[in-house]
Every structure is written in C-alpha cells, then in structure tokens.
C-alpha cells in the first residue's frame, strides 16, 4: 500500500459498530422510559417478521489480557457464576414484561470476558432460562466466544445441546514473545484441540480471532500465525487491528510501552500480508477486518446483501431489535441505544429494585437514522446511494466535498446519487464513513476518543 496514503489517512476515527457513536450519544435527553418505549415499538414492528437478537455479556476472566478493551472482572472465585446468571435471567424477565407476545430469537451471542469461565451446567441453565419463554427462530444462529485454554468438550457439548452451532476462539498471535507481552499464553495445540473438538461435536462454523499491530509483533510473527491458522482452516476469521486506547481502558493496556507497538506503515503491511495468505487458500474479505470461506454464513450474507453490523460486529442477518443483557451490555432497538451499568454490584442493585440496569443511551432522530443507513451501507457493502427520498439529507453537498480528495486518491467513485468504495479505498472505509458522520463534523473532540484508522 502507498505509504503516503497511510500517512495521510491514519487518523483517530470510530469503528462504526453504531451511529451515532457512543461519545456522541445525547445522554441528557435519554431516559429509561424512552428506551423501553423504543424497544416496544421495534419489537412490535419486527418480532413476527424477523425475530430479535440477544447479546449476553459474561464478564469474568481468571487472568488479565493486556490487549483487551472489554469490560471484565478478574477473579478465580467461581462462586460468582450462579448469582450472575440469576441476575441476567431477572433482567431478561424485565424485558419480557414489555412484550405482548413471545420473542422469536434469531441470533444469540455470548461475549466477554470469558464465557467459558462458567461451568458447562451453568451455561446450559442460563440458555434454558432464556429460551423457556421464547421461540427459537428457524435458521437461528447462536454463537459464543471460547478461550482455547479452558473451552472443554463439556462446554461445547452443553451449548450444542441448547442450539449453538458457532464458536469463535481468541487466538491473537502464536509467537511466545507477543503472547507474554499481552499476557495471553496459549499453545497452538490448545487451539487445535478446541477447534477439532467443536467440529467433532457438530459445530458448523468455527472462527478464529487474530490481531495485528500487537506489541513486539513482526511480519514474521503474522506470517507464522496465518500459516498455523491455515492448518486448522477455520470457517471464518476476524483479523483485527489492535486498538490501543489506554487512556480509555485504563491499566489493562499499560502492560507495555507505546514504543513496543508497530508503526502504522508496518501494521498495514501486516494486514496486507495476512490478507494475501488468506486469499491464496480461498478466504474472502468480508466488510472490514473479516474473512470467511464460501461455505460460511458470513460470506453468503455478503453475497445476498444481508450482511449487518452492530455492537456484536458483523452478523449474517439483520434483526431490528437487539437486546443487551448483562453488565455493560448495549442494546439496539434501531431507534435507540441503551447501555447497562458497568459495575457488577451496581447491576445487581438495580435489578434488586426491579429496574432495568440501563444508565445511558441515545434515541435517534430522523437525521441520525438517515446517516446510520449510509454508514451501514458503506461498512457492509462498500457503497451507498441517496437516490431514494429516505436516504437524502441537506448536507450531502458538504459530504461530497469532503470525499473529493479521496476520489482524487482513487479510493472511491462519486456518481450523481451514489458513491462506491474502490478496492484501493476499502482499508480506509472508516475515513469515508467519517465524512458522513455529521455529529463528528459538527464537534471535533478535544481529546482523542478513538483508535487510529490504519
């Protein structure tokens, strides 16, 4: 990739798992009442036709990985499992009170933290508790994040028994120097065992998460990690740029110095090398930072233009309503976002009061909804159009002016009522989305809120 383009466009910018992005939520006008109203409206509009999604946050980990920016609680005390599951089921019960009919669950994802911190029987109790008052949609997709070091056959079997068919394993990098720096020691043999066991049980999609731009990581490290990954041939891959935001995430990302991290140009070279090696063996790039084999649902959704992006990342189908359960989870009603409190004790206290533990959020206005559609189109399909009336907004001329230089750099094509991101511009799709981000244009943050785009 052209070095001058990297230098030019490597700026801080959102990853656009939502619009508006979290720092631009209008928390002052947000309330629990308007959040629940938006959920009820969305549910009534969409449950019968497409079902809903659930994201359940499982916050506990036995050790701290210093690359991680997720909300977690480090403990080796497993007596925390049952109270947490009881709380999540109580929260789900409060949402059920909002609905006039049984929810049809299309997608469910267990994230963390480390979901496999929990005993298999406790995970099964959680899912059975969720499903007893719901309907499982035809063609549902239930998935979870597994830690290769502690995901056992019993974990995989228990979740398979309640409908899970997809698992993703956090690999990050196989080099021991890098693993020590990020405090994530896991031999290739553990990933191999966890991957093969899932397939033996019957999981139809096994994913691996790999990160480039980690401390001390070299081109050789990335190459060896990709080559080992090819041996196991996961159905899909998330190949992420490490987001270094220690000013937001606190001490967890201070386990190494900034000078230990690869520079922007080397990071992009690492990605291009990984992409080349993956493409050579049949993987297809999906949106931003994702790859999948043609047999995987993520690739098929890209082909039939049903690919969606939300706080769970890229998903193979869109549901208008996504309920977030558990500490720090974010729900999405399409018309609004609501995030739960981040401290477990606060989460428990609010549920004891029979209150949904939502503490902040944003209700989208008409302009927000239009911009959200454009950014989703760009992130999922690398193109968008304002030919239809519901896609038009007053600032389109100003947006196109901002994109003119990117067109001169051959990153995109501008037509009379549409734009299309060119292959050369796909690594800069976040920058292109930023031109549409009216809230970002109106108020540039005084401090750095986002990771770098390259």
Counts of helices then strands in the chain (DSSP H, E): 16, 19
- Determine which helix (DSSP H) or strand (DSSP E) holds 314, and give its type and residue range: strand 313-315
Q: Are residues 3 and 52 in the same domain?
A: no
List, as residue ranges, the binding site for S-adenosyl-L-methionine.
55, 67-69, 112-114, 145, 172, 184, 209, 243, 330
Domain annotation covers residue 336: no
Q: Exposed/middle/buried for 228, CB within 10 Å: 0-12, 13-18, 19+? A: middle
From 152, 185, 180, select the one nearest 170 (Cα to Cα). Answer: 185
Supply the CATH number for residue 127's domain.
3.80.30.20
Residue 226: which domain range? 24-325
pLDDT of residue 452: 66
Q: Are residues 430 and 372 in the same domain?
A: yes
Q: Are residues 286 and 149 in the same domain?
A: yes
Q: Is the pTM of this model over 0.95?
A: no
Q: Are residues 321 and 374 in the same domain?
A: no
Q: Are residues 311 and 246 in the same domain?
A: yes
The sign of the dihedral angle between the CA atoms of 114, 243, 55, 53 is negative
Q: Are residues 303 and 164 in the same domain?
A: yes
List, as residue ranges, the binding site for [4Fe-4S] cluster.
61, 65, 68
State whether residue 59 is helix, strand or coil. coil
Strand ranges, E, within 129-260: 135-146, 164-172, 205-212, 236-241
pLDDT tens sequence for the chain (454 residues): 567 887 788 777 888 999 999 999 999 999 999 999 999 999 999 999 999 999 999 999 888 887 777 888 889 999 999 999 999 999 999 999 999 999 999 999 999 899 999 999 999 999 999 999 999 999 999 999 999 999 999 999 999 999 999 999 999 999 999 999 988 999 999 999 999 999 999 999 999 999 999 999 999 999 999 999 999 999 999 998 887 655 444 445 455 788 888 887 888 899 889 999 999 999 999 988 899 999 999 999 999 989 999 888 899 888 999 999 999 999 999 999 999 999 999 999 999 999 999 999 999 999 999 999 999 999 999 999 999 999 999 999 999 999 999 999 999 999 999 999 999 999 899 999 999 999 998 987 665 656 666 6
Q: How far apart are CA 176 and CA 218, in angstroms?
A: 12
Q: Are residues 420 and 399 in the same domain?
A: yes
pLDDT of residue 4: 80
Q: Are residues 205 and 247 in the same domain?
A: yes
Q: Are residues 433 and 309 in the same domain?
A: no
**What is the DSSP secondary structure assignment for residue 71, as one 8-state letter?**
-
Supply the CATH number for residue 407's domain.
1.10.10.920
Q: How far apart are CA 371 and CA 77, in angstroms?
A: 45
Would strands 336-340 and 358-363 be described as parallel, antiparallel, or unpaired? antiparallel
Q: Are residues 16 and 82 in the same domain?
A: no
From 103, 44, 321, 67, select the one nearest 181 (Cα to Cα). Answer: 67
List, as residue ranges, the binding site.
55, 61, 65, 67-69, 112-114, 145, 172, 184, 209, 243, 330
Q: How many domains does the chain have?
A: 2
Q: Are residues 193 and 287 in the same domain?
A: yes
Q: Are 102 and 131 in contact (CB under 8 A)?
A: no
Plot region of 382 (φ>0 → left; ψ -120 to 50 → alpha; else → beta): left
Q: Which of 301, 325, 349 is the last residue of a domain?
A: 325
Q: Are residues 304 and 404 in the same domain?
A: no
Q: Which of 325, 346, 375 is the last residue of a domain?
A: 325
Domain annotation covers residue 123: yes
Residue 45: Cβ within 10 Å count: 15
End-to-end CA distance of the chain: 11
Q: How far apart are CA 47 and CA 147, in angstroms?
A: 32
């Amino acid at each position: 990739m052209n070095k001058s383009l990297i230098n030019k466009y490597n700026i801080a910018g959102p990853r656009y798992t939502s619009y508006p992005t979290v720092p631009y939520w209008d928390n002052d006008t947000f309330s629990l009442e308007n959040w629940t109203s938006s959920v009820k409206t969305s549910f009534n509009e969409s449950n019968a036709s497409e079902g809903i999604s659930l994201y359940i946050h499982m916050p506990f980990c036995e050790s701290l990985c210093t690359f991680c920016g997720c909300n977690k609680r480090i403990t080796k005390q497993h007596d925390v499992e049952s109270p947490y599951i009881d709380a999540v089921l109580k929260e789900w019960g409060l949402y059920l009170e909002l609905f006039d009919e049984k929810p049809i669950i299309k997608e469910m994802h267990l994230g963390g933290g480390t979901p496999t911190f929990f005993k298999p029987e406790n995970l099964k109790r959680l899912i059975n508790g969720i499903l007893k008052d719901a309907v499982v949609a035809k063609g549902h997709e239930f998935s979870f994040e597994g830690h290769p070091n502690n995901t056992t056959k019993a974990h995989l079997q228990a979740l398979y028994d309640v409908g899970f068919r997809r698992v993703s394993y956090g690999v990050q990098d196989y080099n021991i120097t890098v693993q020590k720096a990020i405090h994530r020691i896991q031999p290739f043999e553990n990933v191999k065992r966890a991957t093969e066991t899932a397939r033996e049980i019957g999981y139809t999609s096994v994913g691996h998460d790999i990160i480039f731009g980690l401390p001390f990581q070299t081109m050789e490290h990335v190459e060896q990690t990709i080559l080992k990954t090819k041996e196991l041939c996961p159905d899909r891959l998330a190949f992420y740029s490490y987001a270094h935001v220690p000013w937001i995430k606190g001490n967890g990302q201070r386990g190494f110095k900034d000078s230990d991290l690869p520079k922007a140009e080397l990071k992009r070279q690492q990605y291009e090398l990984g992409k080349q090696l993956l493409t050579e063996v049949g993987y297809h790039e999906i949106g931003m930072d994702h790859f999948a084999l043609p047999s995987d649902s993520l690739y098929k959704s890209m082909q039939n233009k049903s690919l969606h992006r939300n706080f769970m990342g890229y998903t193979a189908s869109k549901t208008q309503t996504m309920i977030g359960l558990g500490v720090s989870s974010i729900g999405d009603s399409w018309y609004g976002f609501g995030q739960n409190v981040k401290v477990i004790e606060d989460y428990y206290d609010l549920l004891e009061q029979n209150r949904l533990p939502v503490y902040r959020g944003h209700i989208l206005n008409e302009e927000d909804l239009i911009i959200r559609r454009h950014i989703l189109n760009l992130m999922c399909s690398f193109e968008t159009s304002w030919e239809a009336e519901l896609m038009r907004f007053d600032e389109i001329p100003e947006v196109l002016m901002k994109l003119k230089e990117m067109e001169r750099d051959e990153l995109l094509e501008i037509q009379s009522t549409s734009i299309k991101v060119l292959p050369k511009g796909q690594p800069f799709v976040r920058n292109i989305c930023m031109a549409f981000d009216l809230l970002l244009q109106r108020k540039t943050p005084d401090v750095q809120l986002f990771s770098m785009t390259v």
